[in-house]
Structure 1
Amino acid sequence: MKFLRNITIGNKLTVLISIAVIALFVVGFSGYRNMNTMAQKSNDMYKSHLLPILWWGKIATNTRAIDQYTLELMLTTDPSLNKDLNDKISQNIQEDSDLYNSYKKIKLTREETNLLNEYEANIDKLRTSRQNVLDLALQNKNTEAYSMYVNIVKPQRQEVEKTIDKLVSINQTVAQNLNKQNQSDLTNASIFLMIIILASITLCITVGILITRMIVNPVKDIQNLMKQAEEGDFTVQGNYQSKDEIGFLTNSFNHMINGVREMIHNITFTSQQVAASAEELAASAEESSAANDEMSRTIQELSAGSEEQAKGTEETSRILNEIAVSVNQVAQSTKSVTTTALQASDKSSEGTKVIETSINQMNNINVNVTQLSDVIKNLGSRSKEISNITKVISDIASQTNLLALNAAIEAARAGENGKGFAVVADEVRKLAEQSSQSSQQISELIFAIQEETTVAVKSMEETAKEVSDGISLVGTAGESFKLIQNAIQDVSNQVEEVSVAMEQMSAGAEQVIEAINKVSQIAEESAAGSQTVSASAEELAASSEEVTSSSTNLANIAEELQSTISKFKI
């Protein structure tokens, strides 16, 4: 039982088929053996007993035929007929000899051997006596031949027939016994075959039922378990333990159920996580949508600010271009001032020479004083012009300082992109301050020159009026001219510095303009970029709405999945 349980279905069927084949072989072999035995016995009965009966019957018949031919031979005198009868007698005798020799070849019992010896003795006597009768008959001594036949041949023939009858009786008895034995063997063989057949059928049916139960019952159990699993009950477990295919199928089913149970656990856990993640994703999508809206508004404001900044930088660039033009004009004016200062210096040198000459030539003092008065008057007018120029320079420096301050404010608004512009604006502011200081110094010097010129004019007038005091006044005038020459030299130096500062301011203004142009370009690019970002923000907002919708659908699907999984028992 345990052996059958632990072998495969193929081997189970092989066992069943083997039992049937063995039973069939046993039945066939038994039938063959019994049939062969009966055939051998029947053949033995036929060859050893039935044929001898026929043989002895033929011998008996031939013996009687010989007697008949002998009697005919005694009655006829026809030579040809005698010859024919004699030939027939010889043929019968030869046939009897052949049949007798055939009988001698079979297996004989002792009784048959004794009777056969008796037969040989009697047949020899009979053949001798019969030959004597035939000889007499051939000599037409029929009376003597007949007398010998009746008295000698016939009794001998009867003895031979008795022996033959005994042999036939013995063979008949043996044949009957063999027939009875064959019938008994047939009955026994039939009973044995029936027993073997019934035992084989019983064994095959028993083993077949057992194997069928071993196959069908576990299959039904697996079928029921699969039906329960089909209905959603994954707590089932197969209990069939065997090493056959059904046992392997049960183990595979249990592994499958365990795998499905674990998979459902994982799906349940994953669906819960998916639902939670979907809710978080929906919340994040809503927050992202709100943030995108805020970012879109901010970007729109930034775009508007960038456009305003671009406009402001364009206006600043225009103003700086005007400043650059003004600075160039100031530079040209400072060059003129420098030329005038040089001329004043030359004049003061000439005045000094005149004073020296006046000391030597007092007679020409009136002429020289008059000339000097004119020169001083011209110097006064030049000083006024220089004063006006320095006022313009001061105003330009103040305006440049104010523009530099505005440029610094715009650079601060531009952030990282305005750092270079801030540096340039600071340099412009410094140059403006230096220009303002230089203009202030020039104004002070010019004011001093004007005062001194006024004093000189008054002195010249007094000199003209009071020639007598000319020597002393000329000395004073000489000192004054020295001071004037020094002042003019200082003015010339200051004007040169102002010229250099104006050139630097002009270069700085060009740098500021270039920086402003860059800022304007960056502002335009920023405005375009902010518009692009605004469009992207709108697309992102639409994507956020789609994500929100998808996350909601995902949460619904996760809930449906959890509802579906809850139908399974694990």
Structure 2
Amino acid sequence: MDQQAFDHIAATRASRGGPARLRHALDRLETANAAAAAAADDAQQDTRPWLRRLPLIGRLPTQRQLSILSTALGISLSVSAACVALNTIHSANRSAQTQVASDALMHSQRIGKAAPNAVQGSDEAFRQLEESRRELTSDIRLMTRGGRVQGRQLQAPGADLAALVESVRRQWGPTDLAAASILTLKADLSGVDQTLQKLNAMSPDLLARVEEIGALRLAGGGSAREIAALGKLAMLTQRMSRSASDFLTAGSAGSEAAFQLGRDTTVFRTTLDALLEGSAAQGLSAVREPELREKIGALKAQFEDYQRLVAAILDKLDKFSAAKNAARLIFNENEALRQRLYTLQQAYRAQQDSLGFTFWLMVGCGVFTLLMAAAIGRVLLVDSNNRTRGADRRRREAEAMRIESQRKEEAARETNARNQVAILRLMNELQKVADGDLTVRATVSENVTGAIADTVNYTVEELRVLVGRVTATAEQVTRAALHAHSVASDLLRASQQQSREIQGVSSTVVRMADQITEVSRSASVSADVARQSVAAADLGSTAVANAIFGMHEIRDQIQDTSKRIKRLGESSQEIGEITELISDITEQTNVLALNAAIQAASAGEAGRGFTVVAEEVQRLAERSAAAARQIGALVRTIQNDTHDAVAAMEKSTRGVVEGTRLSDAAGAALTDISHVSNRLAELISGIAQATGEQAASVGGVAHDIGQILAVTEQTQEGTQHTAQSIHKLAALAQELKNSVARFRIAS
């Protein structure tokens, strides 16, 4: 009923019954209004949802409700912390899987880049190829079977990723075999690039020498064939340089360049020999000018070095072609391998970014924690509201009873006022608590808010202890993390220093192994040379023995020939005597013919025929005399030659005897050389065997040092990750400390 109706009724009562009745009616009306207002207020308060009782435990006492809700809040916080830890471990494992896939992707690209350089003989490329092949094989094994990496246990891939990992493993197989093939050819491919660089560096000098010789020959009036030959040498020099540059070209072009280089070097050498010695096939005569011959000889000497380098390359052509084929296979397979590894990496990242069961459990626990905190606040609010409603109801009842008793009304008014003041004071104190001031203590009095204030004080005290523990724990974690980070940093620097020192020792041992291997190889070559010298000495001894036997045969033949020549001299002397006899007979015949001619002339016509015969006899006698004289001269010449031949034979005999003596001495010397060479071969073989064993030992040491270096690098990487994790832990501890810093727990 509103104030206007109340005034109307009061006026009506006043006009009808007087002041006493009016006051009584007013009191009854006022009592009824108070009761109706109290009932309406109770009905309005019961309809507000945030003041309804909690389900299930809403009928329990407030302290029991707070105890249950506080226990549930603690359990929820513990489960949330466990979920955070599990989610962190799960994320770390997924991150490690992604890191392994990323490393595999990086090493696949590194293999693709290192293979062509390794084929060209680069030691650094061989090191990168071997290291990346080993690391990629390890990464694929980890992704296929699982294992430990960076201190974490990687699980084998699930059904959703097993097929993708298997496809990566199959795709890696041909590339792995090709890389292994290239590594097995390291000894044959090493230095090919440097050899080609030497060839390219020598080509301009060869061309300059050829052009200089051509200019001199042209100025000196050389023949057209000589000028053409020198022009051909210049052309061959340029083509050999181009072939050397094209040698490293992939495919058949590189092989054709190698064969062309071999043919051109042969033609170049043949043309040089033709210019120096002459060649009928090429229509060239030998160059006779001393200056030109000297320059062509210098060109030939330089070209011999060039030809030796070319021969060294051509000897390794088959292996080089196999290495280039392997590099080409790696290039062809590299993109497909990269695509599969990239797909696997993205799949791992998708798993890493996905929200797992532990995350949602953590979110659920967080929501449950907030609900428990809200429930505690609601219980406190309902309890406070209930107490306020009770106070209001008592106030309204006291107001209703004021009509009956002024004293009760005044007492009720004072009680209500005190309750209102206590409630306002409690609300103000709770507002400070809500603002983060945990040093506030609610005032505990005899009023209706005393129990609430006591409960609030207990709750705030527990919350203050909890916040203090969290702050202290966060500070301890921060200090421990900072100390651990400092220790980890020192350990990382020490690991890096150790790694550098081990790398230096490894390089020294490798160089030592190479030097010992080279000594062993040189000793083996020396042993072969010594054995060859023994064989040569044996052959020399045999040859000397044969020469001695031949000289004895020659001496016997010379002596026999000397005897025959002496007999020939004696026979020629007899022929001279016979020739003298023939001369005497011829002279006598000539005299007789002369007498016959005189007698025939005296006879006249009858002796004319006899005259003719006498003249003919005379001519025959003269011819016989001339022939006799010639025979005599020839006989004398034969006698002189025979005497000289006999002297020469005697001198030759003495030379053969001396040669026989020298051959005997040479045979004895060759025998001594053979003994010494045998002993030298034995010593050199022992040296080669000893150096080979030392090389094997040093190689084992180098391998062990390499393993120590790998373990040190893993320790360094683990220490670095540990330092990063500790840094993140310190940041999280600081963030937790900042989160609870707004709560004031000390005055």
TM-score norm. by structure 1 comes to: 0.32
As a proportion of its length, which structure holds more helix? Answer: 1
Which has the higher Rg, Structure 1 or Structure 2? 1
